[in-house]
């Protein structure tokens, strides 16, 4: 649960740390949470009890932030809103809220939504104060620094299909990975090199690993080298989650499905921009749909999707967020 949230927060933390900030994480101690990520990155991790009530977790977070002498708290949680943030503001000068639902009020200084691809729609106008600064769109996508580094070593693809990467989400609760692999298998032996990536909490990691062994595909679980894999990928099969911006930053065309309601606008934008071919809602997509879509792709189509993705996202989003925060804090 919350894989994408903690991954993007670690990406943001790395950029703050690169500018000399000291970073700590506060999380609930929940089974399946990827608490190893901030630990392995070297950050202090303060755990709240799993069963703690919301008013109490706000107060305990405030107390930790006060003891930590925090100048900024970043909040990334779909169930936390203005009431929770106001508790933090009693002791912390600045609050940055990460959201992509636009369904609740916020009491923050910055509102960051990397998935808001139509800022002119003013989705957050009713949910924030006039003083809140909005950081909207994939120009602020929170990608780890290695994506910007990998971008320096690759270029838009030439349309030749040599390597295919399969990755749907860190949790992939519905096991869309298995369905996509069934679709690949329907095509029979190909000269493609297939890389299959799943997260630590995938519901059927033994089954996915066995399928990869059967077909000679490369299996990866909970990796820290996704940027390197994508930089060598000619096509990805995935969803319209935060991995969309990782793919785009490295110019990877994609066949995508919608795994959740909050991916609806992103998946439409990927199609409109020409970065991906949309197969529809995951629950309605079958293995033969993956096979048919793969068979229908032309070299010209792949090359065009790659160029469109490359030109849309540059991998510098986390840096932009940090620079905006630091410039505001340093103003007299």
The CA distance from 296 to 205, in Å, is 30
127, 154: one domain:
no
The pLDDT of residue 1 is: 55
The pLDDT of residue 241 is: 86
86 band by pLDDT with thresholds 50, 70 and 90: very high
The string of pLDDT tens digits covering residues 172-193 is 999 999 999 999 999 999 999 9
184, 80: one domain:
no
Give the sign of the dihedral formed by CA 282, CA 283, CA 288, CA 292.
Answer: negative
8, 69: one domain:
yes
332 band by pLDDT with thresholds 50, 70 and 90: low
The single-letter DSSP state of residue 121 is: G
Mean pLDDT of 198-210: 94
137, 180: one domain:
no
113, 73: one domain:
yes
Lowest mean pLDDT among 103-107, 167-171, 284-288: 167-171
The pLDDT of residue 330 is: 83
Chain mean pLDDT for the chain = 94
Run of H or E including 182: helix 176-186
The pLDDT of residue 257 is: 97
The string of pLDDT tens digits covering residues 138-163 is 999 999 999 999 999 999 999 999 99
* 81: helix, strand or coil: coil
Do 123 and 94 touch, CB atoms closer than 8 A? no
* 315: helix, strand or coil: coil
Mean pLDDT of 66-83: 95
The CA distance from 52 to 184, in Å, is 45
Tokens standing for 119?
Answer: 């800022």
Neighbours of 42 (CB within 10 A): 10
CATH number for the domain spanning 305: value is 3.40.50.2000
151, 296: one domain:
yes
- Crossing angle of helices 287-296 and 176-186, rounded to 10°: 50
Q: What is the pTM of this model?
A: 0.90
243, 269: one domain:
yes
274, 306: one domain:
yes
112, 156: one domain:
no
Using the structure block, give the residue that is written with the tokens 């609050």: 95
Mean pLDDT of 49-75: 93
The CA distance from 157 to 161, in Å, is 9
Mean pLDDT of 272-291: 96
Nearest Cα to Cα of residue 215 among 245, 252, 246, 190: 190
Number of compact structural domains in the chain: 2
Run of H or E including 236: strand 235-239
Neighbours of 236 (CB within 10 A): 27
- Is pLDDT of 107 > 80? yes
The string of pLDDT tens digits covering residues 28-48 is 988 777 788 899 899 999 999
Tokens standing for 202?
Answer: 């995938």
End-to-end CA distance of the chain: 41
- Is pLDDT of 316 > 70? yes
The pLDDT of residue 119 is: 85
CATH number for the domain spanning 44: value is 3.40.50.11190
**Phi-psi region at 100: left, alpha or beta (left = phi > 0; alpha = psi -120 to 50):** alpha
The CA distance from 260 to 268, in Å, is 13
175, 89: one domain:
no
Mean pLDDT of 2-11: 87
The CA distance from 233 to 228, in Å, is 9
Mean pLDDT of 225-252: 96
Mean pLDDT of 68-81: 95
122, 162: one domain:
no
The pLDDT of residue 287 is: 98
The pLDDT of residue 54 is: 79
The CA distance from 276 to 158, in Å, is 15
Give percent of the chain above pLDDT 90. Answer: 84
Domain that holds residue 9: 3-143+316-330
59, 106: one domain:
yes
């Amino acid at each position: 649960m919350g894989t994408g949230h903690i991954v993007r927060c670690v990406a943001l933390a790395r950029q703050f740390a690169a500018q000399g900030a000291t970073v700590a994480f506060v999380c609930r101690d929940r089974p399946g949470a990827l608490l190893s990520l901030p630990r392995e990155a070297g950050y202090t991790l303060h755990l709240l009890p799993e069963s703690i009530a919301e008013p109490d977790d706000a107060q305990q977070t405030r107390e930790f932030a006060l003891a930590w002498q925090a100048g900024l708290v970043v909040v990334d949680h779909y169930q936390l809103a203005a009431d929770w943030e106001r508790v933090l503001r009693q002791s912390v000068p600045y609050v940055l809220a990460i959201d992509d639902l636009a369904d609740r009020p916020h009491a923050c200084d910055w509102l960051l939504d990397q998935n808001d691809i139509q800022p002119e729609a003013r989705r957050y106008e009713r949910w924030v104060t006039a003083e809140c600064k909005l950081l909207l769109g994939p120009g602020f996508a929170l990608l780890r620094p290695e994506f910007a580094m990998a971008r320096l070593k690759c270029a838009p693809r030439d349309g030749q299909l040599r390597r295919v990467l399969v990755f749907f989400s860190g949790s992939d609760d519905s096991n869309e990975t298995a369905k996509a692999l069934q679709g690949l298998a329907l095509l029979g032996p190909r000269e493609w090199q297939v890389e299959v990536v799943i997260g630590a909490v995938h519901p059927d990691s033994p089954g996915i690993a066995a399928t990869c062994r059967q077909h000679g595909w490369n299996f990866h679980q909970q990796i820290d080298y996704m940027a390197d894999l994508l930089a060598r990928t000619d096509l990805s099969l995935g969803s319209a989650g935060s991995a969309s911006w990782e793919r785009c930053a490295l110019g990877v065309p994609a066949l995508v499905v919608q795994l959740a309601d909050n991916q609806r606008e992103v998946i439409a934008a990927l199609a409109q921009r020409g970065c991906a071919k949309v197969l529809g809602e995951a629950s309605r997509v079958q293995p033969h749909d993956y096979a048919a879509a793969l068979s229908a792709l032309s070299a010209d189509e792949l090359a065009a999707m790659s160029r469109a993705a490359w030109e849309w996202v540059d991998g510098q989003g986390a840096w932009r967020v940090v620079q905006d925060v630091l410039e505001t804090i340093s103003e007299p």
